[in-house]
Amino acid sequence: MQALVLEETKRLRLRDITLDEPLTPHDVRVRIHTVGICGSDVHYYQHGAIGPFVVRAPMVLGHEAAGVVEEVGAAVTTLRVGDRVCMEPGIPDANSRPTRLGLYNLDPTVRFWATPPVHGCLRPTVVHPAAFTFRLPDNVSFGEGAMVEPLAVGLHAANKARIKPGDVAVVLGAGPIGMVTAMAALAGGCSRVFITDVQPPKLALAATLGAITPVNVRDENLGDLVRRATGGWGADLVFDAVGVPQSLAQALDVLCPGGAIVLIGMPGAPVPFDVVAAQVKEARFETIFRYAHVFPRALELMGSRKIDVRPLITDRYAFADSIAAFDYAVRPRPTSVKVQIEL
């Protein structure tokens, strides 16, 4: 089959590739319709590695996908041919201790699409376990289905935050993950969300997504705005979706006493941390790695339109133009949020 292959750092090819994917009784074969380009895909393209995950051989990219079931295994009863679906891209070891504890996203042997050495889904078909394949609601498009994966990150962060009804939240960063995190926080019960960035078009889009107050940190002081809005108290929750060294200090500054900071973005190196500043507020820290058990909830929220990700899909490319799509995603326009490829 033809696939988008990362041959080496900064070199992509759209070419034929042979993949051995037999259909087991518990699998489905899915014809891919839409694949989103994630920041991790772009990072592998540009740098060839993310932390310990190093591309050492040609690898098919892509892990945010939706498509149509075209074949089902003999033991599959939950799906049928013709179903429109999205796929959770990580397959854990069912017998591992993290999986048995319900922490399957932390299974060190998980096979995750487009994470070396596992091939991704920017190709015509994939074989995937039915247990990690989910039917799309009738009113949810393939493009939205491919957004379930990034939305799952935001929902997992919202779950880890332990939101209470009426909480005020701050999201640092208005990229795709920051946007879906803000939407997840509102769906989870937050009364108001402040979101930061330095790109006016992204902030303008965020302001249309609900009770979200955009803050351009190049022109405005986030701490002053949050304290003024909360009677000097601060934000109950801060979600860091940027992962740069200064974001942790900013999070502590706007956090209320006893509040929680949820770390989503991954810094490229260790960051300095003011322990005393955290102690005097008894700040609670949560970290996330991908997600677990949230795809069905994401689809319910999307189907009910409690969360509407359609405004975040800003750029679409044909499969034949996949390399151009990636080159654009490396340096997108300020108006871009999510780039998708349609097969």
Residue 46 lies in a domain: yes
CATH assignment at residue 213: 3.40.50.720
Q: Let me know how many helices (H) and strands (E) the chain has, helices first.
A: 11, 20
**Are 137 and 159 members of one domain?**
no
Q: How high is the pLDDT of residue 269?
A: 83
Q: In this structure, what DSSP letter does residue 4 have?
A: E
Q: How high is the pLDDT of residue 267?
A: 87
Residue 125 lies in a domain: yes
Q: How high is the pLDDT of residue 52?
A: 87
CATH assignment at residue 331: 3.90.180.10
Q: How far is Cα 182 from Cα 239, in angstroms, rounded to an integer?
A: 9
CB 106 within 8 A of CB 291: no
**Are 255 and 326 members of one domain?**
no
**Are 26 and 75 members of one domain?**
yes
Residue 333 lies in a domain: yes
Residue 93 lies in a domain: yes
**Are 167 and 277 members of one domain?**
yes
Count of domains observed in the chain: 2
**Are 201 and 118 members of one domain?**
no
**Are 279 and 317 members of one domain?**
no
Interhelix angle 176-187/148-161, rounded to 10 degrees, is 50
Q: How high is the pLDDT of residue 51?
A: 83
**Are 159 and 270 members of one domain?**
yes
Q: How far is Cα 229 from Cα 288, in angstroms, rounded to an integer?
A: 28
Residue 300 lies in a domain: no
CB 316 within 8 A of CB 293: no
Q: In this structure, what DSSP letter does residue 42 have?
A: H
**Are 121 and 158 members of one domain?**
no
pLDDT by residue for the chain (343 residues), tens only, comes to: 999 999 999 999 999 999 989 999 999 999 999 999 999 999 999 999 988 899 999 999 999 999 999 999 999 999 999 999 999 999 999 999 999 999 999 999 999 999 999 999 999 999 999 999 999 999 999 999 999 999 999 999 999 999 999 999 999 999 999 999 999 999 999 999 999 999 999 999 999 999 999 999 999 999 999 999 999 999 999 999 999 988 999 999 999 999 999 999 988 788 888 999 999 999 999 999 999 999 999 999 999 999 999 999 999 999 999 999 999 999 999 999 999 999 9
- Domain residue limits at 212: 154-287
Residue 304 lies in a domain: no
Residue 148 corresponds to which tokens in the numbers above?
Answer: 């379930």
CB 117 within 8 A of CB 123: no
Question: Which pTM was predicted?
Answer: 0.96
